[in-house]
Chains A and B, each alone.
Chain A
């Protein structure tokens, strides 16, 4: 069969979600941020909640997330997205409110914010992009950087005597009574991306049930910061990041 015969609108089985704008993403080639943006756009589109959703973008490479998903957004100071989300959700309880935060943003400068938002049981969704590094500022060590991992501030590899240990903040947050759904996912394969999308959807659905905070960690790559090609970075993530940050559900109060 000629390809020309197949390329008809009625035969389309996958296309860019309409909620993603036509702006060219500023991310490096192969960066996980773009894939996660797409999944969020698909969930919001499929739930039909475009005009009811408010995103809070962070400081980090995803600072411009508001240029890519066509919903209402606010831009928070570094690490303060959960505070802005708290205010937004309390003032507009009928809205779906989510934060989108990197590991430097959430697990370093914003640690207090996220812990207390979880502890208060705010009915928001948190998307946590853990790429083990400060991507935006030039690849410095993050709290989540693996032991032995080279970054621009740990050029000989992270040494626990000097730099401490990787922070598994997601497991810590699961211990707090205010959290409803806590999961860790990835987006490096089609199967993984589909699971991550289901998790994001569950988070949005739970946030409307007023049962507490939903937290979705995405173990991600920063191939530029890791100094690997995008494909090599995905393999490195599977081999090294998953050992410390295993994927799967960690807590679900409705199960």
Chain B
């Protein structure tokens, strides 16, 4: 069974720590070029390889990631 997923990031609360990027097995998160109102570059999806595994959200210290997943 295969899954397709996506994530939603609360970019205003993201602190750009990059711990989620390091933990994404699909390598589909990157830091933005622009900054949020606190001056942090924030996490954003880099491609459509997300499988909805929730690794990124599990390790996010600020709990700003919501994960969606569907079977395909």
Report the bound CA distance from A8 to B52 in whole Å: 13
Of the residues B15, B19, B62, B69, contact of A13 by C-beta under 8 Å? B69
Residue of B nearest to A189 (CB): B23
CB-CB contacts of B41-63 with A at 8 A, as 1s and 0s?
00000001000111111111111
Q: Which residues of A contact B72 (CB under 8 A)?
A: 1
CB-CB contacts of A187-222 with B at 8 A, as 1s and 0s?
111100110000000000000000000000000000
Report the bound CA distance from A20 to B64 in whole Å: 11
Q: Which residues of B contact A189 (CB under 8 A)?
A: 23, 55, 59
Min CB–CB distance B26 → chain A (angstroms): 13
Chain B interface extent, by class: 35 or more
* Contact (Cβ within 8 A) A187 B59: yes
* Contact (Cβ within 8 A) A35 B13: no
* Contact (Cβ within 8 A) A16 B61: no
Report the bound CA distance from A28 to B61 in whole Å: 10
Task: Say yes or no: is A231 at the interface (Cβ < 8 Å to chain B).
Answer: yes
* Contact (Cβ within 8 A) B62 A190: no
Task: Say yes or no: is A29 at the interface (Cβ < 8 Å to chain B).
Answer: yes
* Contact (Cβ within 8 A) B13 A24: yes
Report the bound CA distance from A230 to B31 in whole Å: 14
Report the bound CA distance from A20 to B69 in whole Å: 23
Report the bound CA distance from A15 to B53 in whole Å: 12
Given the interface pairs A13-B54, A20-B63, the reply to whether A30 lies near B18 with Cβ below 8 Å is: yes
Min CB–CB distance B6 → chain A (angstroms): 4
* Contact (Cβ within 8 A) A194 B18: no
Task: Say yes or no: is B1 at the interface (Cβ < 8 Å to chain A).
Answer: no
Task: Say yes or no: is A166 at the interface (Cβ < 8 Å to chain B).
Answer: no
Interface residues of chain A, those whose CB is within 8 Å of chain B, are 1, 3, 5-8, 11-17, 20, 24-25, 27-35, 38, 187-190, 193-194, 229-231, 234
Q: List the 6 closest A-B pairs by CB distance, nearest first.
A: A34-B61, A30-B17, A29-B15, A190-B55, A29-B17, A14-B54
User: What are 13 A-B pairs with beta-carbon distances under 8 A?
Assistant: A6-B52, A7-B8, A13-B67, A17-B63, A27-B61, A29-B17, A30-B15, A34-B60, A34-B63, A189-B23, A190-B23, A190-B55, A190-B56
Extra pairs beyond A6-B69, A189-B23, A230-B19 (18, CB < 8 Å): A1-B70, A5-B70, A6-B68, A13-B5, A13-B69, A14-B65, A14-B66, A16-B63, A24-B13, A25-B61, A27-B61, A29-B15, A29-B61, A34-B61, A38-B63, A190-B55, A194-B58, A234-B19
